[in-house]
Each structure stands twice: as structure tokens, then as C-alpha cells.
Structure 1
Amino acid sequence: MKQIIIIGGGAAGFFCAANLDEKQYKITILEQNSDVLQKVKISGGGRCNVTHACFDAKELVQFYPRGNKELRSVFSKFQPGDMMEWLDQRKVSVKVEHDNRVFPESNSSQTIINTFLNEIQEKNIEVKTKCSVKEIEKQDEKYVVRTSLGDFEADVVIYTTGSSPKSLKMIENLGHRIVDLVPSLFTFNIKDDLLKDLAGTSFENAETSIPALKTEESGPLLITHWGLSGPAILKISAWEAINLAKVKYHFEIEVNFISKDMDEAEELFQNFKQSNPKKTIGQSKIFEVTNRFWQRILEVSKVDLNKQIANVSGKEMQAIVENLCKKKFQVTGKSTFKDEFVTAGGVDLKEINFKNMSSKLLPNFYIAGEVLNIDAVTGGFNFQACWSEAWLISQDLNNN
């Protein structure tokens, strides 16, 4: 019976094992940590954002800054609808939230973990934890996997280690080219009077742009203790991951907190001024922002909060509108987004056959998950790439 060694007990490794034909193969998963499926556990704040309700491969690949071209064929064979059906067949109900993120009904990542563990148990697949792989050696038709728990012989290796530098070094030693790692999803560190003491303030739809890179994104925005976060920031951090690493995370960003252009905002202001001339500017609800943020905008614009709105000068109005619609911030660094650390970089995609995720350089060697130079914005997309790639590997081996 042929031996399959899966290196890495994360999302891709486990999903691959769960779909392999255990009657054809003896399968062992090697995981260096004491727990398997660690990222699945913490995903979505412990609820596990298992996928995203986007069922068209063409549309789905738009969420992947790296790997979009290659994943199109992968998603045409196994996409989010297939993953939802796979879970449904195993009595796991999922729900689609208003932003199309998909979670288990139970709101607990443990549901997903238990489902995978049950599949593995039923197939008598061996899982070895605290098993650190030191090197992989090709010997004739087989591979020898040297680990802290001794040597394992494999007819087939499935490499799903995630993107640690150590695991990339190991696969580089086997001849694969590695694209340098840089962080992808991250929040922006900004010190600015406008944001001071406003952590937790959010905006339903803001526009962010980095003028130097001619790039823009929109979506919900959040003020944090360190600066700015939320999808509008995370998306721009993913698409520009490589460029932002080059400038060492020092750059200028422009934010439109209300997603209205200056003219439209001025018109709203003028109309409000005409119909409420006696109101004080500090108590005026002209735009969809919190009172605390509005009062801070007035402070930063040097406008007296107690001034009647009729007495606000054209120059003052201009300053207010500019701070709302075209506020420039200096970014001076980045912070990791929660624990869901995602990296750009990894195994060069030119060296992978995307029909079945096999290495073009190494026979009977498959690669999937974050070890590849593929990453996505937040919302369940990184997991979906893992599920789809792992599915292709299992089907290829089952049909051998």
C-alpha cells in the first residue's frame, strides 16, 4: 500500500486527508505544534469564517491579489458552494451573513475542527503532533522525511506547512524558487490629532487611497488605538503588500470618511445651514458620523462648537469638508491584523501544475495552502483557496 505523508496539520492538510481514499493509501499527517488546525480555531474571532458566498470562479478570483489567474481553473472544479455542500453532507449547517461571509450555524470553529477530526478518525489516518520536520530527501522513487520523531518514508508527499520561513527554506532546498515573504493583511499605524482617543469609532463606508501608488479601496473603516483598520484598510494592504514593504510602511494615505465628494458635502452643508440657521454647529447632525467624531472634526478644523451654523464662514466650512472628505494621514508602520496573519510570497506559482496542485519539479509531490505565493483579502477567501487546492490533490490521487 502506498504511503502518503502530509506535512502540516492545518486547513489544507486536513481537508486533503479528509478526502483521500484510505483504501488506496496509508496516510500520516505530521504537525510540529501540539494542536492541529490552529488557524481554523482562531478564524473569525473563534467562529471560523469557513468560506465566502461567491459562486462564480471569475468573480471569486477578484479577491486574490496573488494567485487570481491560477485559481480560476481551481475554483471551476471546487468552489464555495461545493465546500458548503461538503459540510452539509456531514450535518454541519452554515449561514451566510450580510457581507457574504460564511460561518457554521453554531458560531464555533470547534464544529469545523470536530468534523475534520471525525473524518480523519473514521479513515484511521495517523496524526503525529509535536513532530518537527527537519528535511526531506529524495531517494530513488521515494522520499525520506526526517523529523524530530524519526524518519518516515513516503511514496507521495503533500506539503501544506503554511508560510513559515523554515518550511520555505526546506522546499527551496528541494529546488523550488521562493518569492520573498511580506505581510499581507495589516492595519496602518497613524498618530494624528483627528484619531486620538477615538478607538472603536467606525464608518460604514469610507474611501481610502494611497496617492503615490494610484490605488484606492472602499468599505467599512475603523479607528483603533494605533491608527486605522477595517476592510477599507485591509484590502488596500493586501493589494499593495509588496509596494508598502518596499517603502518600509512609511507613506501618505488619503481618507474620505463619508464617501461623498467635496462638492456634494458642501451642498449638504449649505442646505443644512439654510434650514437650521440658529443651531450650534457642535449639535448639528449634517453627516453620518458619530457626535464624538464630528466634534473632533470641528476641533481639528478650528471651528468653535458653540457657533451658530449661520455664522460659520466659507473658509471654516471648507476646512470641515476637507477633513471629512480628503484627510491626509502619514502612516508610520503596520500592526498585524488580529491573529490571522497572512503573508504574500511563498513557492513560485510558475512551478505548480494547477490542474492537480503537483510540483512541476518533483514527482509525486503536491503543494497547497499558504506556503504558495497566493493570498486573499479577509472574508473566508484564504480558507477557500486551501479547500479547493486540497480537493484537487485528493481527487488526483484517488483517481491514480
Structure 2
Amino acid sequence: MSEENLQVAVIGGGAAGFFSAISAKRHHPEAKVTIYEKTDKLLAKVRISGGGRCNVTHHCFDIRELVKFYPRGERPLKKAFGMWSPTNTVEWFENRGVELKTESDGRMFPVTDDSQTIINCLMEETQKLGIGIKTKSNIKSISKTENGYELGFHRGGRTSADKVIVATGGSPRSKGFDWLRELGHDIEEPVPSLFTFNMPDEPIKELMGVVAEPVAIKIMGSNLSSSGPLLITHWGMSGPAVLKLSAFGARDFHEMDYEFKILVNWTGERPEQEVRSILKEVEDNHPKKKISNVNPFELPGRLWEFLLGKLNLGDDMIWQNMGKKNINRLVHLLTNDVYQVKGKTTFKEEFVTCGGISLTDVDMKTMESRKSPDLYFAGEVLDIDGVTGGFNFQAAWTTGYIAGKLG
């Protein structure tokens, strides 16, 4: 078939869909490329991500380090990032007039701090390339034909395509993948990833808005652990340390029905022995001072008072009166503070799932299905997900670019 007659259908109008369509048109200029989006909103996740600023990628340009931020897809992504890395992403946007900046935690945003900048860039590129966009076009079925695929719409009607790129994102329900199962694909069952811990019975919620950094978290009875900033919320705990843990433990937490206990080390990675020696030093150097007035680990003031209150160490307690028993209690609390988690809160618009098209069904060098030739995948429809910090968008740009090469 000559390229001028090539019909390419991209299913999904999100980051991966747009980037794969742009890549397809760049690699096959004569092809007719059309994006089909089931809603009337394009790039919805781009718009709301990063608090409306769009966390485009992460300032991690070493692929061996980069892949460690992906609980699912680490090994297969090594090849993919070798073809399109964060360096390529930064250059691509900057070549189109979108300058990115790096924040202290490595997240990269447009200097405008406005996700509309990214949306405008992608929309202008699709218009310039002559890519078709059809909204309110929810695909109901996909079937193999002699020369390609036939797509059926929920509202009736059908269209045909020689090559199809599926970039529909994650689905919170397994049945959302049924139309792809019918083509013989194996699906890793979807469960939520990137969620906060609900603690309905824990008084620490009263400290909502307090950030402790860094802390170390362990899940009791498992090998799951994480470290980083922790945010106390109206519901329980969030922040990078919790979100990272929720991603790496997504399947474990699902099996626990989101009920488990966590151990928090408020001093970061410090072991008990080191914490004890630091407290002993304070005791020796500030014997007459109130313990509430000497905060040796520089915890937020409200959190320090809360922890002392848990041990019933009153406002009048001074360091020289602590005694060995109270020092030991404080050491244990600072390094092994226990909280009961009962449930989760996911960000509905920004939800990320663990699960999707099994990577054994995909040639990661091309993103082509091993079960259905001329069918490609990009973005979160794959069993790939990253922790928070721009990693999921980077996976979308990378897989979208590769899929758009169409082999």
C-alpha cells in the first residue's frame, strides 16, 4: 500500500494519543492520521496534572536510574527510553517554544506554570501537521479485517484503518479492556496506584497541612518501604513518600483490602541507636530546657508537640527529668510510630492504574501487538506505571513516539 493511502487511527485524545499521532504523521507524512476521543475534552489529564501546571517529565537523564521509578515496566522500558528519553522530551518542547524548568525535587514544568502551554503546543502541532481530531467518538469494538481493522462506535457507525494505535489510558475496571481481550490480548488486572492513605481513627489528621521531611515508612508484616516528604491530610497521610509506596505496593494493598498498619520513622533513615545518642546529647547540653522547646530533628512544631503528647510528656517536662525510660519511649516513637490505615483516596481525574495490556503481548521496540499485527499501544493502557513526579507523562511521550513510527 502506498503511504498516501495509509489510514492511521489513534484511539484516545490524551498525552499518549496526541504524541503518537504527531509521531505517526512525522514519520509518515502522506498518511491520513485521525485521533478519536470518546469525550468532548482533549488532553484532560494534561490540563489538571501538577495542580494545573503539568509535570511534563522528570530531571533524570540516566536511563538506568530513570527506570527505577516504574513499579511496572522497569526492564522493558530500558529499550524504549533508549529511543526516546527525557532529554528528547525537553528538546522537543523547547524546539517548539516551550521552555521547561526544574524544581528542587526534579519535577519539570513549563516556565509559565500553566498546563495550557503544553496543551497549546500539542494542539498547534496537530493542526500544523493536518491531523484529524474527532471527539465524542467512543470506540465500542475493534475487529481485524483482511487489510487492517474496522472500528465500531458506541453511537453507531463504523470506520476502517490500516493501522491502529490504542492510547485509551488506564481503566479502573477490568471490563474496560474487554474489547482488547477479544483480539486475544492478555490483561493484567487493573488496581489503583498512586493513592493516599486514609486513617479515619487516627488523631494525627488534626495536623492536616503539616509536611515532615524526610520520613521513612514501612508496612508492618511486609518488605514494602519508602522514604521522602510526608503530608498529613484531612483524611490521613499523603505526599511523595506515601504515593511512591502506594505505587510499588499497589497489588499488595489491593489484596489487603487497603487495611494495614504503617511504621513511620519521623527522623528519616536514622536507626534507633543514632536517635538515642542524639537525644542523650540534647539531655546533656540542655538539661534545664523544656523538651517541647528543643526539637533536635527539626520536625514541624505542631508535629513535635503532637508526638510528645502521645507519650503524655507534659509541657513542664525538662530534659534532665526525662530518665532512661522516657528517652527509650521517645526513641521508639520517633523511629517506629504506628498508624492504622483503613482505605484509600485516589485522585479521580488523575487516577493511575497498575495493570493493562500485558507487556509480553507487546514488542517494546515498536509498541506493536504480538497478537494483532498493525495494532500498537501507547501510554497507560499498557501495564506500565510510574511514581509521581512526571514519570507517567514521560512513559506516554516515549511509548507514543515509538508507536507512531508504526514499526
For normalisation by structure 2, the TM-score amounts to 0.94
Structure-2 separation of matches of 1:315 and 1:190: 29
Structure-1 separation of matches of 2:216 and 2:331: 15
Q: Paired residue for 1:365? A: 375
1:168: how far off? 1.1
Q: Paired residue for 1:189? A: 198
When structure 1 is superposed on structure 2, of 334-343 and 353-362 the one drifting more is 334-343
Structure-1 separation of matches of 2:63 and 2:50: 23
Q: Paired residue for 1:380? A: 390
Structure 1: gaps of 5 or more residues: none
Q: Paired residue for 1:85? A: 91
1:339: how far off? 3.7
| Preserved CA contact (<8 Å) 2:205 2:232 | no
Q: Paired residue for 2:167? A: 160
Superposed, 1:296-335 pairs within 5 Å as 296-335=306-345
Structure-2 separation of matches of 1:207 and 1:313: 27
| Preserved CA contact (<8 Å) 1:131 1:149 | no
Q: Paired residue for 2:244? A: 235
Distance 1:125 1:184, change over 3 A: same
Whether 2:208 is the aligned partner of 1:217: answer no
Q: Paired residue for 1:26? A: 32
1:388: how far off? 0.7
Give the partner amino acid of 1:325: T
Q: Paired residue for 2:355? A: 345
Match of 1:60 among 63, 66, 70: 66
Whether 2:209 is the aligned partner of 1:200: answer yes
Distance 1:46 1:357, change over 3 A: same
Structure-1 separation of matches of 2:48 and 2:202: 33
Give the partner amino acid of 1:152: T
Distance 1:193 1:280, change over 3 A: farther
Structure-1 separation of matches of 2:321 and 2:203: 24
| Preserved CA contact (<8 Å) 2:198 2:236 | yes
Superposed, 1:135-146 pairs within 5 Å as 135-146=141-152
Give the partner amino acid of 1:127: I
Give the partner amino acid of 2:14: G
Match of 1:16 among 12, 20, 27: 20
When structure 1 is superposed on structure 2, of 60-69 and 269-278 the one drifting more is 269-278
Structure-1 separation of matches of 2:71 and 2:381: 15
Give the partner amino acid of 1:70: P
Q: Paired residue for 2:401? A: 391
1:337: how far off? 4.2
Structure 2: gaps of 5 or more residues: none
Computed over aligned residues only, the root mean square deviation of the Cα atoms, in angstroms, reads 1.5
| Preserved CA contact (<8 Å) 1:194 1:300 | no
Q: Paired residue for 1:177? A: 186
Superposed, 1:256-295 pairs within 5 Å as 256-259=265-268, 260-295=270-305
Distance 1:192 1:323, change over 3 A: farther
Distance 1:195 1:307, change over 3 A: same
SS of match in other structure, 2:117 = helix
Q: Paired residue for 1:252? A: 261
1:84: how far off? 0.5
Query: Alpha-carbon deviations, 1:166-220, whole Å to 9, x = none?
Result: 5411111121111110101111112455514101111110001113121221111
Give the partner amino acid of 1:331: V
Distance 1:196 1:86, change over 3 A: closer
